[in-house]
Structure 1
Amino acid sequence: MSVPEAATERVPLRPLVVAAAGRLAEAGVGSPMFDAEMLAAHALGVDRMRLALIPMIDAETAGRIDHSVDQRATRIPLQHLIGTAPLGAVDLAVGPGVFVPRPETELLLAWALGYLESRRFAHAPIVVDLCTGSGALALAIAQARPDADVHAVELDPDALRWARRNADARIAAGDTPITLHSGDVTDPFVVEHLTARADLVVANPPYIPQDAVLDPEVADHDPHRALFGGPDGLDVIRGMVPTIARLLRPGGATAVEHDDTNGGGVAALLSAADLTDIAEHTDLADKPRFVTARRPSNT
């Protein structure tokens, strides 16, 4: 039986990727070559760095790449098309209904892991991730610190389903389980059983001012509930800070991500809650990105 000619046709990969990057650039995508390479790697089932080892591909795979590039050109997020987004050493399943983790949060994660590494614990360190979304920070911390007792709080039921899916996948991979809680981080009684027990509280809450102009990938695809924090971007953080102060044990620390207009505002809120050692941190673009603080040991 002869094989149809279309099935045996071979296509050079690199020119296809370069052309795809050009189409994405014309569509306004901010990282056209990276995205084109990621879409090609996803279609081929290989790591992006291995694309150079694949000079030719079959026509069917080329068609799949072409279709995914067409989708990306409409500004569907890359992460929705490939199905995952990384944070730390964890790849998280993401899609419609959940916030896509951003590279900026890697810096908050690094600070949190550094803080845990710098401390000696007589017990399993208790970590609480508020507004966990996909479970990103909680799962990345649990993967890096299997000795930690990690809790994650999320209000939105759609996001919580994604977090459960990711938590189950990490258990299957052999990681330490985390405990997921459905709750409002501004509720004075949320995870009340952890009051004054947390060694570390991290949060990447909704913090974008409501009149901000956003890229289509964000405005049209991330859940608005996970993005916007009221007129000044501080509504959720303002309501969450008392929860953070209540959860921290004496000597415990917190790290809160925020909009690049709000470093001073978040620092002031943490200070008003009687937290100390407040420090503002910038991202790789030197923009204000997260604030850290500590509950005094003598309280």
Structure 2
Amino acid sequence: MLAAAGVDSPRADAELLAAHVLGVERSRLPFVPLVDIPVIAELRKLVERRAKREPLQYLLGTAVMGGVTVAVGPGVFVPRPETELLLAWGLSTLERTAKPVVVDLCTGSAALALAVADARPDAVVHAVERDRGALVWARRNANARADAGDTPIRLHAGDVADRTLLDDLDGTVDLVLSNPPYVPEGSPVSPEVADYDPYHAVFAPGDGLEVIRKVVDCAARLLRPGGAVAIEHDDTQGESAPALLSTRRVLTDVQDHRDLAGRPRFVTALRARS
């Protein structure tokens, strides 16, 4: 059913849904000898919903980023596996930095911010989001981390276009990460994105770089000398996004990075030391 519906990874999705219904890890599925009829009926319902291209993460109620699992659902952008590469790059820049200060702009569900906090418990992590609907999910995920006794993140309601945003951190931040809206309006996207992800969390006006421009301005102001920034972008922006960062004299070592499929995926830069 999933293959016929055009789902990209039908076998993996089917196994994850079955594991979800059975309450076991996916790797444990071969060790489940028998299932009851109600279990089969529940699985069929979920498969039918997935065949209508409802996001797998909505059906599971969660998405994974790095070492954390966050709650997601209607009203918030679903984190994608491609962003793991941006996260890994960002963490690599902090390897020699004790107690780093990190800012996640356009945080959505707060998945990136929480993944950084999980990997670096000594970090002070700030997460910024302007959309009220997304903030509900971000706050839920942030509170769950705090309730578990882990180092909390600092969640802020704010807009990257605000030149006073986090101005008390100007020149002190070690790493800025962002997965902002970047798909040019009118671009074709999968049904999972078109029908379920919030429009304003996916699309940006014109060439799709409007929000990225604001993120670059904010990052250039926040970063300390030697600090790093990583911004995810559309696969059509492999030249335009790096060119945008290269226009800022305070940013150096601008590089674009490809995802596992070989497509341009995110751009990075360092704050000049002098």
TM-score by length of 1: 0.89
1:159 aligned residue = 134
1:134-149 aligned within 5 A: 134-149=109-124
2:42 aligned residue = 64
CA displacement 1:208-261 (0-9 Å, x = unmatched): 011111111110000011001112110101122111100101111100110011
Maintained 8 Å contact 1:211/1:231: no
Residue 85 of structure 1: SS of its match in structure 2?
strand
2:8 aligned residue = 30
- Amino acid of the residue matched to residue 119 of structure 2? A
1:50-129 aligned within 5 A: 50-117=28-95, 119-121=96-98, 124-129=99-104
Mapped partners of 1:114, 1:126: distance in 2? 14
Maintained 8 Å contact 1:112/1:255: yes
1:227-242 aligned within 5 A: 227-242=202-217
Mapped partners of 2:163, 2:176: distance in 1? 15
- Amino acid of the residue matched to residue 53 of structure 2? R
**1:120 Cα deviation (Å)?**
3.5
Mapped partners of 2:220, 2:263: distance in 1? 26
1:200 aligned residue = 175
- Amino acid of the residue matched to residue 90 of structure 2? A
- Amino acid of the residue matched to residue 248 of structure 2? A
- Amino acid of the residue matched to residue 290 of structure 1? F
Note the residue ranges of structure 1 that are not aligned, 5 or more in a row.
Answer: 1-22
Mapped partners of 1:45, 1:101: distance in 2? 23
**1:174 Cα deviation (Å)?**
2.9
Say what the alpha-carbon RMSD is for the aligned residues: 0.9
Residue 196 of structure 2: SS of its match in structure 1?
coil
In percent, how many aligned pairs have the same letter? 60
- Amino acid of the residue matched to residue 118 of structure 2? Q
Mapped partners of 1:98, 1:222: distance in 2? 7
Mapped partners of 2:32, 2:60: distance in 1? 19
Residue 257 of structure 2: SS of its match in structure 1?
strand
1:263 aligned residue = 238
**1:38 Cα deviation (Å)?**
0.8
Q: In the alignment, is residue 296 of structure 1 matched against residue 272 of structure 2?
A: yes
Number of aligned residue pairs: 273
Maintained 8 Å contact 2:178/2:215: no
Structure 2 residue corresponding to 1:150, chosen from 90, 110, 125? 125
- Amino acid of the residue matched to residue 265 of structure 2? R
**1:90 Cα deviation (Å)?**
0.4
Mapped partners of 2:215, 2:37: distance in 1? 53
Maintained 8 Å contact 1:198/1:252: yes
- Amino acid of the residue matched to residue 258 of structure 1? H
Residue 3 of structure 2: SS of its match in structure 1?
helix
CA displacement 1:113-142 (0-9 Å, x = unmatched): 11111x234xx2100000000001100000
Q: In the alignment, is residue 130 of structure 1 matched against residue 105 of structure 2?
A: yes
**Which moves more between the two structures, 186-195 or 147-156?**
186-195
Maintained 8 Å contact 1:108/1:255: yes
2:26 aligned residue = 48
1:279 aligned residue = 255
**1:97 Cα deviation (Å)?**
0.3
* 4+ aligned runs moved over 3 Å, structure 1: none
Mapped partners of 2:66, 2:39: distance in 1? 30
Mapped partners of 1:31, 1:136: distance in 2? 22
Mapped partners of 2:97, 2:33: distance in 1? 52
Mapped partners of 2:149, 2:233: distance in 1? 32
- Amino acid of the residue matched to residue 279 of structure 1? Q
